[in-house]
Amino acid sequence: MAEASPPRPVTTHELLRMKEQQQRIVMLTCYDALFARILDGAGVDILLVGDSVNTVLAAADTTISATLDQMIYHTRIVRRGTERAMVLCDMPFLTYQVAKDEAIRNCGRVLAETECHGVKVEGGVHIAPTVRALVDVGIPVMGHIGLTPQSVHALGGYRVQGRDDVTAQRLKNDAKALEDAGAFAIVLELVPAPLAAEITKSLAIPTIGIGAGPSCDGQVLVLHDMLGLNERFSAKFVKRYASLADEVRTAVGAFSMEVRSGRYPGKEHSFEK
């Protein structure tokens, strides 16, 4: 029997094709090789190594204190666990906003040290020149507008963006500027569904929504939220597809009981010689 051919990797061109053919794009955050293998095997198209690792796994209040070394470490191990999915690194705060040459240096380091497929940066019109500079040296860039977590203090908290005509137009301008700068896709976070639909229709590149309604070309959630592992976070846009925190507690409780009672390990778990 002939060996099965390896899965075809997801590329920026594949994402454009998916938008053209109205095939929805699936994206999840991922922070380690074990989950990367599971998600890759389940057919997820994009694995985003989000700076949300700082809040989800490191218990920080915001993503702002995530470091470049932290993101490189997690992106490297996620990349090791994938064959098909596109792996993107979320560039942390102040690694791309200060100057174009610094952004190129930091993003280039990420690609060289992790072998990931691209980076994600937050911001619209003001960051577009940097996006163009990155694209011009061969670094694929996904944009991110709407609620941008690295600007949470400036935005006055985690709130829906674009609810009035002025801010809605600003988001439209941001999306167009990112597309013109060469971004291959844009995350729309906490944007009213009608506005997200209008932006999505206006762009040739895909949009990935999180709290932005059903009309985006794809959807993303934080993995630990959708699996029900992160019980301290809840939001209207999050749907929990499992309750793994409950299952973990049950399993750990059973293990603890068997250890304390002497039932584990049994003969079947022991070596005689």
Tokens of 249: 């507690």
Among the listed residues 14, 20, 102, 189, the single catalytic one is 189
Question: Read out DSSP for 54-68?
Answer: HHHTS--SSSTT--H
Decide: helix, strand or coil at residue 187.
Answer: strand
Task: Answer for the pair 66, 48: CB distance below 8 angstroms, yes or no.
Answer: no
Task: Answer for the pair 66, 51: CB distance below 8 angstroms, yes or no.
Answer: yes
Q: Which residues of 33-57 are buried (b: 16+ CB within 10 A; e: fewer)?
A: bebbbebbeeebbbbbbbbbbbbbe
Torsional class of 93: left (φ above 0), alpha (ψ -120 to 50), beta (otherwise): beta
Beta-strand ranges (E) seen in the chain are 25-29, 46-49, 86-90, 118-120, 141-146, 185-189, 207-210, 218-221
Quick check: is 189 catalytic?
yes
The one-letter amino acid at 44: V
Task: Answer for the pair 145, 123: CB distance below 8 angstroms, yes or no.
Answer: yes
Tokens of 18: 């998916």
CA 69/CA 267 separation, integer angstroms? 45
Give the catalytic positions in this structure: 189
